[in-house]
Amino acid sequence: MHPAGLAVAGTPRQPSKRRTPVSQPGMADPHQLFDDTSSAQSRGYGAQQAPGGLGYPAPSASPQAAFLADPVSNMAMAYGSSLAAQGKELVDKNIDRFIPVTKLKYYFAVDTMYVGKKLGLLFFPYLHQDWEVQYQQDTPVAPRFDINAPDLYIPAMAFITYVLVAGLALGTQDRFSPDLLGLQASSALAWLTLEVLAILLSLYLVTVNTDLTTIDLVAFLGYKYVGMIGGVLMGLLFGKIGYYLVLGWCCVSIFVFMIRTLRLKILAEAAAEGVPVRGARNQLRMYLTMAVAAAQPLLMYWLTFHLVR
């Protein structure tokens, strides 16, 4: 991400409306070069119009014609606008194939209350009792109505905030330059992608029958950025002691949060109720859940320790 290279100069776009263009000012010349085929003038001067109206230079007494009044330009304009409309339709139809927009909309159906409660849960998950997502006729309820549902608003905002806070931290150490923001963003994104792929691979290897979708997984893995931001901000305000204290607290909280959430998704029904079930498969799944949960604090420390001096 190199903002320096993206010198995008937007051009002022006029509101698209159909209108009849009018003649150029200041060129009212009796020996004008174009036939005026616009009806307002032509009705008045019918006799004087040269009817061959393709707009080519023909000396006649009619006033200055509008550039777009002749049929060829009209056709070109209509063709151009229909082409643009077709292109837009094509993009709209095909974007669903690459990015499941309607599925994503579910993860962004949040409101302020949900976000507040979820942030509270991320920092203090110890008192929450019921971690099961409510269903409504086979589809999970939107995050707005159930605090246990995963959402993508918090992870996305936390990720971007993390990149900016990293920029701020580097700025206070006089190590800031705008392309560092891009560097931080790409490296954090790379770590996230790596994590998602590793977990997907291990889920596949363990042959777990779960309804944990990829987007759900991205959402859960994105929650640790909240703790990271807290740690770095405390580190900026109170130095290393504050950083370690807050980061330690957030690490433990996210560990507990992940275990309690993933347990319901990965482990079999019986084990999720808290009854320890013997058997190799469930052992393996338990280890996988613990490994995923334990990876979170490690990554939290790895991605933030160089920001706090």
Partner 1 sequence: MMQPQQPYTGQIFQPTQAYTPTTPQPFYGNSFEDEPPLLEELGINFDHIWQKTLTVLHPLKVADGSIMNETDLAGPMVFCLAFGATLLLAGKIQFGYVYGISAIGCLGMFCLLNLMSMTGVSFGCVASVLGYCLLPMILLSSFAVIFSLQGMVGIILTAGIIGWCSFSASKIFISALAMEGQQLLVAYPCALLYGVFALISVF
* Residue 32: DSSP 8-state: -
221-234: burial string, b at 16+ Cβ within 10 Å, e else? bbbbbbbbbbbbbb
* Residue 127: DSSP 8-state: S
The answer to the question of residue 101 lying near partner 1 (CB under 8 A) is yes
The answer to the question of residue 4 lying near partner 1 (CB under 8 A) is yes
The answer to the question of residue 184 lying near partner 1 (CB under 8 A) is no
The answer to the question of residue 100 lying near partner 1 (CB under 8 A) is no
Q: In Å, how far are 7, 21, 157, 163 from 247, measured between CA atoms?
A: 38, 65, 19, 17
d(CA 44, CA 298): 83
Q: How far apart are the first and last CA of the chain?
A: 26
* Residue 184: DSSP 8-state: H
The site map against partner 1 for 235-274 (x = CB under 8 A) is ----------------------------------------
The answer to the question of residue 86 lying near partner 1 (CB under 8 A) is no
The answer to the question of residue 136 lying near partner 1 (CB under 8 A) is no
- Tokens 């275990």 correspond to 259
The answer to the question of residue 95 lying near partner 1 (CB under 8 A) is no
Which segments of 77-220 are extended strands (E)? Answer: 135-136, 139-140
Q: Which of 54, 61, 189, 201 binds partner 1 (CB under 8 A)?
A: 61
Q: Which of 37, 49, 261, 289 binds partner 1 (CB under 8 A)?
A: 37
Residues in contact with partner 1 by CB under 8 A are 1-15, 19-23, 25-26, 28, 30, 36-41, 44-45, 61-64, 69, 71, 74-75, 78, 101, 104-105, 107-113, 115, 153, 156-157, 160-161, 164, 167-168, 171, 176, 178, 181
